[in-house]
Amino acid sequence: MAAPDEPAIPENISEAVVDTEKKGFPVVWLLPLVAVLIGGWLIFKTISEKGPEIVVSFKTADGIEAGKTKIKYRDVTIGLVENVTFTEDLSDVLVTVTMEAGANRYLTGNTRFWVVRPRFGAREVSGLGTLLSGAYIAMEPSEQGQHSEKFVGLESPPVILADKQGTSYRLHTKKLGSLSIGSPIYFRQFDVGEITEYRLSDDHSQVEIGFFIESPHDQYIQEGTTFWNAGGISLSMSSAGVKLEMESLVSVISGGIAFETLPEFADSPRAKADTLFALYDNHQESLERPITVTYTFVLRFNGSVRGLNVGAPVEYRGIRLGTVKGIELGLDPNRQDVTVPVVLIDLEPQRLAAFRDIDSPGTEQQDQQKFEEHMVKLIEEDVRDKGMRARLLPGNLLTGQLYVDLDYFPDAQPVKLDRQSEYPEIPTLPNPLAGLLAGFNKVLDKLEAARLEETMDNLNTLLISSDQLVSTLGQNAPAMAVELQATLKEAHAALASLKASTSTDGEIGNELYNALTEISAAARSIRVMSEYLERHPEALLKGKAGNP
């Protein structure tokens, strides 16, 4: 009998039957599995289609926004900015960019990035389209170099793109002037290239400039080509007159460089890439032959050298032979207590073959010694009974600029040069204008000694008195005219009365006529008497014959 607290177990319950037969995959799990597979495929597809992630550093993030700023190449979007952060020292901005798939091959060390925004320059205006659409990052892909995921962005667009055909060259000059990156390069006033970079040389002695010449104009760059600074306006005044040079209005604002190949260098070979050329200050300087050899000489002048500047030419009968190198004050070798102007000149034998030794060239020191000996002969010895001397002559009477003139002077006193000094000395002659000015000063001194000031005061007083007299006469002129007219009338009346009196009808005229008649009769009697006395002179003693 069961305990009262235990439940009653029905007697008719059947036993459980265990099914040992294997069943298939439950259909209920099929849908989740398909969802997982689709999700995995989408994830794989998304990851496989996602492009590489790169980091570009800029100095500023002006115009760059995460999730909005795009990466473009030729106006086609190829990436998107995902994040913008700073470097640890806050010196740069790091821009994280997700590129489109397939961009890996173009991400190398030569790939360049820069921000495109509105820019206003002397030559052009760019990026105006971003005023409405916003700034974007431009990319210049390159397959050259190692693959990279970190880049340094350019702060300004590159001047020359990689796909532009042409050749790069270099220049060196003493100063940059008005040149800047992007300044044009002119050939026969056509814009054929641009300046791409500039920097100081390692020793800071000059400026090195990189420039690019577009194809096909780069074929005209030869080893004998000369370049000059064509920026701004060049105004020069010389004995030949006033000369104004200007390449173009753009070059006046932003600077520029021009080049040409002179006919004598037309056969020189084509210049290779990165060839280094000299940049001359102006076109006139570029026309002169490049000077690489100079020999220094010294000149001493007793007079003033006002008007002579460093860089002034040294000429022989109008042909330039050298350049004034320096002007300083030094001692007179004849009197050590007297200082005189000392002028250092560089003679340039490359300018004229007549001033070079025609023998085979030797070392630099040997060539210099030969040249100096040649100059000593021209100065000391009687070469064709002439001696070479230097003097200062005016190059322009308007500006007063002087130049050094070398010539032969038969009357020059013989000299013996001191060859122990640092530089050989060329004897000098006085400036011809100095004597003229001295004579003029003497005339002024004589005029001053002659009390010219007192004479001028007396003359001034006389002029004042004359002016007063003329003024007085002018004021009394009407009254004087009336009195003069009355006097003339009286004189006319007197003359008329005198004429009437002296006529034959007048009293005086009648008496005068009778007197003249009697005088005529007396004259006839005297003539008869004189004729009788000529015939009978004895009549003076005896009387007339026939009288008692």
Structural contact between residues 426 and 375, judged by C-beta atoms closer than 8 angstroms: yes
Least confident of 246-250, 281-285, 343-347, 428-432: 246-250
* Residue that wins the pLDDT comparison between 248 and 59: 59
- Tokens found for residue 49: 């289609």
Q: What is the pLDDT of residues 299-355, one digit of tens each?
A: 888 888 888 888 888 888 888 888 898 888 877 666 665 667 888 988 887 776 554
Which stretches within 410-451 are classed as H helix?
A: 432-449
Band the pLDDT of 483: cuts 50, 70, 90. confident
Give phi and psi for 194, each to the nearest 5: -145, 160
DSSP structure class, residue 229:
E
- Tokens found for residue 541: 């003693």
Report the pLDDT value the prediction gives residue 120, as an integer from 0 to 100. Answer: 58
Task: Tell me the C-alpha distance between 119 and 474, whole Å.
Answer: 80
Structural contact between residues 404 and 345, judged by C-beta atoms closer than 8 angstroms: yes
Band the pLDDT of 8: cuts 50, 70, 90. low
Task: Tell me the C-alpha distance between 137 and 77, whole Å.
Answer: 10
In this structure, is the dihedral angle defined by the CA atoms of residues 147, 150, 152 and 153, taken in order, positive or negative?
A: positive
3-state SS track over 157-184: CCCCCCCCCEEEEEEEECCCCCCCCCCE
Task: State the residue for tokens 């989740």.
Answer: 32
- Tokens found for residue 483: 């009195």
* Angle, helix 452-502 to helix 432-449, in steps of 10 degrees: 60
* Residue that wins the pLDDT comparison between 151 and 431: 151
- Strand, helix or coil at 121? coil
Q: Could you tell me how many residues make up the chain? A: 548
pLDDT at 134 over 90: no
| Residue 244 identity | L
Work out the angle at residue 407's Cα, subtended by the Cα atoms of residues 404 and 411, and round it to the nearest 5 degrees: 120
Task: Tell me the C-alpha distance between 97 and 52, whole Å.
Answer: 8
pLDDT > 90 fraction of the chain, expressed in percent and rounded: 15
- Strand, helix or coil at 225? coil
The total of other beta-carbon atoms located within 10 Å of residue 538's CB is: 9
Task: State the residue for tokens 């209005």.
Answer: 249
Cβ neighbors of 284 (< 8 A, separation 6 or more) are 236
pLDDT at 531 over 90: no
Least confident of 210-224, 305-319, 492-506: 492-506
CA nearest to 277, candidates 230, 324, 223, 321: 223
Query: CA-CA distances (angstroms) from residue 324 to 123, 316, 356, 392, 543?
Result: 39, 14, 19, 12, 120
